[in-house]
């Protein structure tokens, strides 16, 4: 997942990445991985910061540089599109010079699993007027646009994040900081994205992503297709045997 995010970042024109890791061996593992697998392929400068305690995404962002706009990518969200989703979000930021959030249409029935955005058209842009985290009632769903894990945050958003208490025991999300910014009179825009989405934060979503990328790899495609075909054949034979037994009974 990290590799695909780095590909997206590089394809979007960014040349500096800050990786924020937990207080364990992960920084060494990432450092070794990037030195061996990444640096030779991409002209990107990498730096590392470490959280003393794993208190979530907002605490991680407190360890990031705060003096200029930055892109934030959530590894749970993978989107296959051309141009890359982050590049589209960056283009909107360049036009508006305001914090920008990636948005993706979903069925409203799925809204209870995602943060959702209420928007209005302003010229050709989508101006965000409200953000609702995982609305549980269908009547509370403001639109069919979910928050997708691609953000451009500005120093003003960083300032809000630094003041937020992340040790309350309640999970605080990055859109919570955006919502405070909205309530303080700030302006945020959204960029609707399109493509094949994978929720790599779930087991099924991660497996689907692995199958998708495996089938796109010419060296793996044939072997994976053979394996899937063989397993489907076995499953069909088992189902036929069970059906035959039920008929005999």
pLDDT at position 198 over 70:
yes
Question: CB–CB of 182/85 below 8 Å?
Answer: no
Give the angle 74-76-78 at the CA atoms, nearest 5°. Answer: 90
What mean pLDDT comes out for the span 111-135? 93
Q: Is 249 helix (H, G, I), strand (E, B) or coil?
A: coil
pLDDT tens digits for range 39-62: 888 889 999 888 887 778 888 898
Alpha-carbon gap, residue 14 to 71, rounded angstroms: 9
pLDDT at position 170 over 70:
no
Place of tokens 């960056």: 90
Report the candidate in 72, 6, 90, 84 with the shortest Cα–Cα distance to residue 45: 6
Question: CB–CB of 135/108 below 8 Å?
Answer: no
- Structural tokens at position 32: 């070794």
First-to-last alpha carbon distance for the chain, in angstroms, is 49
What mean pLDDT comes out for the span 219-247? 87
- Reported as type and span, the H/E element at residue 94 is helix 85-96
pLDDT at position 230 over 90:
yes
Residues across the chain: 249
pLDDT band at 172 (very low <50, low <70, confident <90, very high): confident
pLDDT band at 104 (very low <50, low <70, confident <90, very high): very high
pLDDT band at 169 (very low <50, low <70, confident <90, very high): low
Q: What is the pLDDT of residue 73?
A: 93
């Amino acid at each position: 997942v990290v590799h695909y995010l780095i590909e997206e970042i590089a394809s979007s024109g960014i040349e500096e990445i800050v990786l924020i890791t937990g207080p364990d061996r992960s920084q060494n593992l990432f450092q070794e991985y990037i030195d061996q697998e990444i640096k030779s392929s991409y002209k990107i400068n990498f730096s590392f910061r470490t959280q003393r305690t794993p208190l979530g995404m907002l605490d991680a962002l407190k360890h990031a540089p705060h003096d200029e706009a930055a892109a934030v990518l959530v590894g749970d969200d993978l989107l296959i599109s051309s141009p890359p989703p982050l590049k589209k979000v960056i283009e909107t930021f360049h036009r508006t010079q305001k914090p920008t959030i990636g948005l993706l249409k979903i069925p409203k029935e799925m809204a209870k699993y995602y943060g959702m955005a209420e928007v209005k058209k302003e010229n050709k842009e989508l101006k965000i007027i409200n953000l609702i985290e995982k609305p549980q009632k269908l009547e509370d769903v403001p639109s069919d646009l979910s928050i997708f894990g691609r953000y451009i945050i500005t120093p003003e958003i960083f300032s809000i994040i630094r003041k937020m208490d992340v040790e309350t025991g309640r999970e605080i999300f990055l859109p919570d900081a955006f919502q405070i910014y909205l309530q303080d009179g700030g302006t945020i825009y959204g960029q609707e994205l399109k493509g094949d989405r994978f929720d790599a934060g779930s087991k099924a979503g991660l497996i689907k992503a692995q199958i998708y990328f495996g089938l796109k790899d010419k060296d793996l495609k044939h072997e994976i297709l053979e394996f899937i075909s063989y397993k489907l054949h076995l499953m069909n034979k088992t189902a036929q045997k069970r059906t035959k037994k039920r008929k005999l009974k």
